[in-house]
Structures are given as structure tokens and as C-alpha cells.
Structure 1
Amino acid sequence: MKAPRYDADGLAGVLPSVARSLDPVAFAGAGRKLPQARAAIVVLADGLGARLLRRQSAHAPFLREHLERMQTLAAGFPTTTATSMGTFGTGLPPGAHGLAGYLVVDPATGRVFNELTWKDGPNPQAWQPNPTVFERADAAGLRPAMIGPGYFDGSGLTNAALRGATFYPAEGLDDRVDAALAATRRGHRLVYLYWGEIDKAGHVHGVGSPQWAHELAVFDDAMARLDFGRPAGTSLTLTADHGMVDVPLDARVDIATTPHLRDGVRRVGGEMRALHLYVEPGALADVESRWRAEIGAHGHVFTREQLADAGWVGALDPATAGRFGDVVVSVTSARGYVDSRVMSDRVLTLLGQHGAMTPDELDVPFLHLGAR
């Protein structure tokens, strides 16, 4: 399968492109060239895949009006929030920023930790030391602001991928819209708003569910209000971190209870559709062979070196390479592989899943409405 883009035509190019529209000198050559603006609001809707949006656009009249001008970008691999936030926030591919997935091994300790919750994780800035787009924007005088739930403020993932912005906590979507508009009026020229309820609905109820459609409709209303209320000279941009597919509960294999998949595997990371398999010394060839036979035509199996050669995560930085599995699996059919030893009961029972390199998971929208 063709490697995802990590340039102006991928998720990595969204923030640099918007920042360039605000300061063409400080961000010269970054991302794509957008019309200049005095200020910008960037909205990231967690889980709002481009193909899901188009299929369900009847529930989103405001966004449906803009479908013809909406572009599709590649989120990157794996198609999961922690990795995509690293790509979005730094403008770099995963091999460079090193946020390798949902569950990853810290090579310094050998322990698996969750890059989304960051519980017992390493120092975020040491883990991801590259400058973020917000840090660069702050140095350029753009006064970046971030709008999200209060628990994001100071969290590990925020500090790793999105540090550098003034944080304004707001819980409900209407409150976040109000906070974003207020931030632009306070002189913040680059304002970022995050919304996660579409992703939650998809995980719990599935992407074709009435609950998912309802959350899309709520979000669409808020986008219309944000568009109507944005001050003169302010652009509005929409994107997402990944899409989603439904994986039936009876289409999942538990690695913990399947000896031929478990043998030789020291740790299991990633998630059920994008696995990082960290193998025992000397077991690489056997583990790779067994997993290739298991996956067959239902996905892709790479060694770490093959993953880098394929370009799926960009070039692997030696400082981050050990975070990616010795064997990496991407599942393309409606099935998944779980490990009940490390995955929580809640995660094991979620219907909607993502992580793999399928168009429904990989493709995300890019809608840019220029300043008026």
C-alpha cells in the first residue's frame, strides 16, 4: 500500500500551513500556501474520518455545503490519536516525533505505557524534544491558544505534542466555541479547538449508529456558529486525527490465549488493528513468519526496518526507533487482535476501532475557510 504523506498534503502540514498564512516570513516554505489572515481558528474533530463525513453528510448541513471544497489528507500511521497528535502538533512524521502508538514500550525501562493517558510515562519533553508548531508560533508572536477539556492542561500528551499554547479549559462544545471566539478577541492569532465526542460515539456505538450521527449533527451546528461568529480577518480550518471502522466482538483474536501468536513475543503494544510486537531475542524470524501466515491477505506485516523502508512512518530516528515494534501489523479487514494481559476491559469491548492503514481510518478532512 502507498505510504501516507507527511508534507503539505498530509495532517503534518495543517498547522504549519495555517501558521504560514498568519506569518509568511516566520513560516516561509512551511506547509501549503493559504490566503493570508490576521488570525486563525483550527478545529480538530477526533475520529471524524473524511469518508465517514461524506457518507453521513446528510446529518451535517453546514459541512455538506462545503464538501466540494473539502480536501482529503492522510493522517499517517498508525491511525490513532496519540500518533496523529504528534504529527499534527510538530509537523513531523511519527519516525521523527516518536509518538509511536496507543501502547508503546519505553526502551529505557522495557515497560509498556499508554501515550494517550501518559500514566507512569516518561518526561514528555524528553520523550518528544522537537519544537512544536505552537512553540514556533509563540516565538513568532502569534500567541497560540488551545481550547479543550481541563484535564488536557499539563497532560503528558499535550506537553509532548502541543506545548507552547496558552490553555483555556472548556468542557461543553458551546463553551469551547465561545472560548475560541473570545481568544481571538483577546489577540491570540492562532487558536486551536479540540472536540472528542464523535470519536467516543464511534467507539461505543459504532460509526453507522444513530449516536454517531447525532454527535456529527451537534458538531456541525457548532461549526456553523463558529463560522458565523469569527471576527473579521479570521480564517477557520477543520481537520481530524483519524477515521474509524467497526470491528465485531466475534472477529477478535486474543493473543494472550493463542500460543502460536504469543510465543516469542515479549510485549504487545499498539492497538487491535495496528500492533507493535516486541519480540524475544532471536525470535524475530519465527514471530514474523507466524504473523505473516496469520494475517495473510487481511493486512500487512513488517519488521521495523521494512516499516521504515516502506515510508509508513517516515525515516526512523535512531532515538525513537526502539519504540516501534520489532514486528508491526496493520489489519485491513474487519477484524482485530487483542491482548487481554495489557488491554483494558473497556478497550476490549469497544465496537469502533482504528489504527490501521485503510482509507476509512487513514483519510481525514481538510476544510479551510479563508478570512472574510
Structure 2
Amino acid sequence: MFKSALSSVLGERSELGFKPRNKVLVIFIDGLGYQNLKAAAGHAPFLAGAASKGQVLHAAFPSTTSVNISSFATGLRPGGHGIIGHVVRDRYFQRTLNLLNGWTEETDPLQWQPNQTISEAALEKGVVTNVISATEYRTTGFTKATMRGVLFHEADEIADRFEMAKRLLESQERSINYLYIQELDQLGHVKGWESDSWRALLEQLNGILERFTQVIPKDAGIVITADHGMVDTNDQKRVELDELLRPRGVEFVGGDTRSMYLYLKPEVDKESLLQELETYQQFSAYDANALVEAGLYGELGPQAKERLPDLVLLAKGNNTLYHSDFSKPRSYRMIAHHGGLSSQELQIPLIRFNI
């Protein structure tokens, strides 16, 4: 999508059919799945109405933030950019990494995500890339992996981000612009997307966006989208896998609560373990190579090959998957989750104005 925004500014044909514009702003609302928005349409009539006239796209698998922002930022599928899950084990580097917020000084973003970003391609073409986001994201490893060569504009309040975006769109400079809203996803994890507080925040965003789209310059286009949807769960839907996995040679558990990655010790008979796991009703079990063959990751590059797990467990229904040796304590308290293959997690809106 960001690739199509750049094509629009360059006056080139884009994959999404965007019209030529001097400036394009992509508003990225983390966690605003199409089905979530449709279900809460009474709280967001402007957004829901615009979404019904737009397109429904599908997030990349796994339906999690690090994967889909990386695809947005590079124009590549997960197998191409190598950010293939929330938490992975890399066999080449011999380390594990939370690819969203677990970066340290020892994890070089250029090694973990070496592909050219859309922002770098824009820079080569003389087009400015502006990122409008919260201060905490300015210097993270994930930002360095995905948004290289950008001008970063800090704004911790949502309303301030839109004020900044308005000023940037009023500039005469050709630009692609990325405005990130993380608050809806964060609130969903804590309260659930069906909660009153989540819907109140959506209502607030609906009003801000309705006013904002009425004052954009004629040479600017606006796109609103998301990285994934969310499903609400409860404690009864939690599937504890400690006793099942500990004696079976699982070296590391990665992924997330809806798509668990299993990395096995070399001596483990993968096929036998897979056959056993396939008998459980709370999740589906797959050889990761089968998911690759099915096209879920796209063509694998060298980085993705080193991080691919041996087996993948996909939660069924609204279940969530945990292993206490690897799952963070805060994940046990989360209500809304994502990462799986359900349509509620995968379907995202593509809303456009003047483009």
C-alpha cells in the first residue's frame, strides 16, 4: 500500500489504482479490522460508511503488527522481508527476538531486515517520507528496520498527529506520509474490542477523521487502513501447553497466542510429533513447510528461511495458546488477540479519499 502511495506521487501506475497526487497520507490504525469496524458501525458511522464503499484487503500471515507493518514498509510479503512472526528464533544468529519491541544494541536492523524500504526508494526518487508517530517509536530497532531515511515527527496525542499531518499536506513538497495510531490496538488488548472503552475511542477517531478529510488540499490523497483485526477471548479459551510440549523436545516457543511457533531439538521426530498434535481439538497443527507451500508466507528469502519454525499451531475458534516458559505474563491478561487465520483477524479496510 505504501508502495502504491509512492507510485501515486511519482505519477506511475500503482497496484491499487491510486490516482496521481503530489502528496499521499496513509493513516494506519493498528487493530482496526474490517469486521471489527463493521460490528461497531454505530460508533463510527463515517468510517464504516466509507469502508463499505472501499475495498476489503487481507493482512499478511501471521496477522500481527510486526509482520504487516514490515510488508507495508517494504512492499514485500513476509517470506521476502524476513519478519515472519511476533517472536522468532533465528538459527543463523543463534538468538531469539521479539521483532516488534525486543530489539537491542546487538540486533542490527540492517541484518534482520536488509531489503530496501519504500522510504529509501522514495528518497532515491526525490520524494520525502514523513512518519508521524509517538515519541517512543522514533529510535526503535523496528523503526530502523522498516522506516529508514524518513523524517520522523513526534506527536504523542492523536489529535496532535493530525495537526502535524495537516501542516505536512499543506506543504508544496512532494511526499508520502505515514500516520500511525497504536492506541486502539493497545486498548483492545487490555479491555477487548467489544468493550465500551474501545468503542468510545473508535468514536473519537471517527470524529477526528471525518473533520480531517474535509480540509485536505486538492493535490493530496488520503488512505486509511490497518494491519489486522482482533478477536476477544476469555480465561476459559486459554489453552495451556506446558505439560504437552515440555517432554517432547521443544527447544523454543515463538509466534504469539493465536499462531504458536515450535522450534524443535535436532533429535526430535517432527513427523511423529505433528501426528500427535493433529489429534487435539483446540488448535490445528502444521509443518511450517506446508504453510510455505500453501503460499501463506510468499517466497522465502534467506532471512525467513533461518527463522522458519518446525511446526505451527493455529488456535481454533477464539482459543489462545500459551506456554509459561515462553509466554509473557502480560499476555495472560490480554482480552483481544490476533495473529491467526480467521477472517476477523485477516480482513482489513482500504478507505480512500481524493485518490
Same fold (TM over 0.5): yes
Look up the SS of the partner of 2:126 in the other structure: coil
**Which whole-Å CA distance do the structure 2 matches of 1:262 and 1:246 have between them?**
31
Look up the SS of the partner of 1:147 in the other structure: strand
- Establish whether residue 222 from structure 1 lines up as the match of residue 208 from structure 2: yes
* 8 Å Cα contact 1:261-1:287 kept in structure 2: no
- Establish whether residue 203 from structure 1 lines up as the match of residue 189 from structure 2: yes
**Which whole-Å CA distance do the structure 2 matches of 1:319 and 1:204 have between them?**
33
* 8 Å Cα contact 2:51-2:350 kept in structure 1: no
Task: Within 5 Å, give how 1:49-64 maps onto structure 2.
Answer: 49-64=33-48
Shift of 1:282: 3.1
Shift of 1:250: 2.2
Task: Within 5 Å, give how 1:148-297 maps onto structure 2.
Answer: 148-186=133-171, 187=173, 189-256=175-242, 258-260=243-245, 263-283=248-268, 284-294=270-280, 296=281
Shift of 1:263: 1.6
* 8 Å Cα contact 1:261-1:290 kept in structure 2: no
Look up the SS of the partner of 2:60 in the other structure: coil
**31 and 118 in structure 1: CA distance in 2 versus 1, 3 angstrom threshold:** farther
- Establish whether residue 19 from structure 1 lines up as the match of residue 3 from structure 2: no
Shift of 1:225: 2.5
Shift of 1:188: 5.2
**Which whole-Å CA distance do the structure 2 matches of 1:153 and 1:243 have between them?**
25
TM-score (norm. length: structure 2) = 0.94
TM-score (norm. length: structure 1) = 0.90
**Which whole-Å CA distance do the structure 1 matches of 2:53 and 2:229 have between them?**
19
Unaligned runs of 5+ in 2: none
* 8 Å Cα contact 1:332-1:357 kept in structure 2: no
- Choose the corresponding residue for 1:119, options 103, 123, 126: 103
Shift of 1:68: 3.1
- Given residue 340 of structure 1, which amino acid in structure 2 is its aligned partner? S
**Which whole-Å CA distance do the structure 1 matches of 2:279 and 2:249 have between them?**
15
Identity of aligned residues (%): 29
CA deviations 1:276-326 (Å, max 9, x no partner) are 1001113212332222122x4x54422121111010111112332121211
**Which whole-Å CA distance do the structure 1 matches of 2:338 and 2:99 have between them?**
15
- Choose the corresponding residue for 2:311, options 323, 327, 333: 327
**Which whole-Å CA distance do the structure 2 matches of 1:332 and 1:94 have between them?**
22
**363 and 262 in structure 1: CA distance in 2 versus 1, 3 angstrom threshold:** farther
Aligned residue pairs total 352
**Which whole-Å CA distance do the structure 1 matches of 2:56 and 2:301 have between them?**
28
CA deviations 1:245-279 (Å, max 9, x no partner) are 012112212223x1356522110000111111001
Deviation larger for 263-272 or 323-332:
323-332
**Which whole-Å CA distance do the structure 1 matches of 2:324 and 2:140 have between them?**
26
Shift of 1:196: 1.0
Shift of 1:363: 0.5
Look up the SS of the partner of 1:163 in the other structure: coil
Unaligned runs of 5+ in 1: 1-13
What do you get for the CA RMSD once the two structures are aligned? 1.7
Look up the SS of the partner of 2:267 in the other structure: coil
* 8 Å Cα contact 1:252-1:335 kept in structure 2: yes
- Choose the corresponding residue for 2:325, options 333, 336, 341: 341
* 8 Å Cα contact 1:264-1:287 kept in structure 2: no
CA deviations 1:91-137 (Å, max 9, x no partner) are 11101101111111122343322111133362111111111111111
Shift of 1:224: 1.5
- Establish whether residue 42 from structure 1 lines up as the match of residue 15 from structure 2: no
* Larger RCO (alpha carbons 8 Å, 6+ apart): 2
* 8 Å Cα contact 1:279-1:287 kept in structure 2: no
**Which whole-Å CA distance do the structure 1 matches of 2:333 and 2:76 have between them?**
32
